[in-house]
Structure 1
Amino acid sequence: MKRYKALTWDHPRGYNALAAAARLPAPAEAGIAIEWDKQPLEGFESHPIADLCARYDLVVLDHPHIGKAVKSGCLQPLEEVFGEERIAKLQADSIGPSLASYRFGGAHWALPLDAATQVMALRADLLASPVPMTWDAVAALSKETGKVALSLAGPHAILSFLSIAAAFGEPPAKADPDLLVSGRTGEKVYELMLDLAARSPVSVRDKNPIGILEHMAQNDDIILCPLIYGYVNYAAPSAGRAIAFHNAPRAVAGGRPGSTLGGTGIGISTRCEMSPALRDHLLWLMSAEAQIGFIPAHDGQPSRREAWRDSSVNTRWNGFYRATADTLEAAYVRPRHDGYIAFQSKASALLRQAFGARAKAKDTLSALQELYSEHRIAGSER
């Protein structure tokens, strides 16, 4: 029996399907055993990816870590493991940029296990008006009720900033990799967030997306969170109120739903001795059979497009997938250079401080750009 060590994140969405799949008869019959460990999601932000890959054969990771992982040489390119034709087919089957986000330096470095992006979450039973489709409508609801929450803890302040910039027509650092965002767009985004942050309920100010959704399911002081990573589990919970999920807000009706891609992928470390049985198991996790049936049935959030459009999957989860698929298809992919993760953490702290001090937009944007440039240069030099 060949044994593999694997690491994922500590949430039913990140662990249950992988652990259940490893317990199926097929892996053991093929002569392999996969042991899945788990760590808090925040651990992937703070723990060096190279160290994790030195200790595990399979590592579930987020795409912004790819630049650092490639720089350290700790992952195997998927094209070498599965072949270019298989990866091209997987790209066609994956929703939005869920696989493309793991492409860096001419190769793909992780299988898109889990697809997610920021979407709108609301308590439909508390919303007396139509679902707000634009940022103007979100701001109006905030002023009217004081019950619109921003997700600002951890890295989420800058992630929301990036998303709103994309909705306003300027995906950050895309046209010019050295420029985070122009002053004109950046000022509009900052002023909107400053306005919303001032009325965002204190009860969730320090909570991560899971904490916010848990709070919304149990309390009535928040009607809506306009940008939060979607967790299908809360669309049909075993306890508490159901959360309704919708596409992210747009700058104008019919425009792009601005959202920053999340999700996770399975990276194969260089210490992993790939066997035909492990290869087959990983490909099965990406198959229509697993993505439409097994993974959603075990609390997972699939990455295959047909799973997001599947009627039975949507019926089981109160339409979560169909209601947010357009946002995922258009999701913005963050920079992935070595150094980006450090920027993301510091930029979020900078924004929270600016909101608290009601700092001027020009000064805040200048500081953000300086921080971005510093970590972009540092990343290219390592």
Structure 2
Amino acid sequence: MESGRKAGIGRLVGCALKNRRPVFLVSLVCSLVGNVGCAVSPSYGTMGLCRAITAFFISPASAIGSAVVAETFFKKERARYMGVWTTMVTLGVPMAPFIFGFVAVRVGYRWIFSQTNGVQLLLYFLVGRETLYLRRAAAAASLRPLAFVARPCVLLPAVGYAMVFLWANIMMSVETGQLFPENFGLNPQQVGLQNISIIVGSLLGEQIGGFLSDWWMWRRHAKVGSSSDGQGADKAARSPQPEFRLWLGYPGHLLTICGVVVYFVQIERAGTFWNITPDVGMAIAAGGNQIVTTVMTTYAVDCYREDAAGVGVFFNFVRQTWGFIGPFWFPDPIQRTGFRASAGIAAAMIVAVSMVPTAVVQWRRSRWRQD
């Protein structure tokens, strides 16, 4: 499904650079058709094909969401509403098993398909509006998304965010579904309830990643603005650089590491009897992940405001690539090295691939943005 989503992102971004609303509507209609196909599939192969179709057509929502936010809100409130969007992206993973665990236990797994797409289509048709009002010249000048691989102030935050998302969201969602039934004997509904911790943690983390991030930049702007002579050019030059926002990413990294360690260690301590302590680790990691998600995404959009759609596509391409690969190798280190060593591996990867690159971006500052 992830590979199909990446392909869908690449094909549809060109149309998305010109119009938003038609792309969203076509996306929802076609993904709804794919999900209906999943519900009536007679074989595993047929369902795999329908899932690929769904993944291809559902991609625009994650690809151009950042552009919609950038087009709709002013810079002073961008992090707050970018955080709302990124929170919804994050919550999609835990909300699905939380809600449809009840459905799978009571009426069967086939009923979990298509309902959500149907509601989305109805709501977006009734209240969704076009948000792209940029000049044609600006839209035509947009970069191809993969060109951001040569832009370190987008590449490094995207890679760092993807690593945090991998451990705090993908790993926990996948391994909870595998470890909790095996270790604690939980059924799908009970496993789905564990995702409440990710939902709560993400919502709490967003208060720092969104609201506090905007306040952080506003406070800096007020400080440097008051020290200028009041002239427009000087005041603009003394405005806080986008890299100042990245200071709020470090608490997110540390919370993610703390949460992953608690999750693994407490699963090992629990043995064969379930308790809530691993869920506490999930909530802590989810809060850290949401802080990093909002801060990194908003920073990259601040650097390339006119190419917000391309930034969103690139961020999701990197995240989906990491997310697709991760579940293939997660079980092996856990089985070979144990839970505590796996926690150490996760901490080392987050520090090396997320925290250190963030520090490098801050060190280089505007020199990369001017290249």
TM-score for both structures, normalised by structure 1: 0.30
Q: Relative to total residues, which structure has the larger helix share, 1 or 2?
A: 2
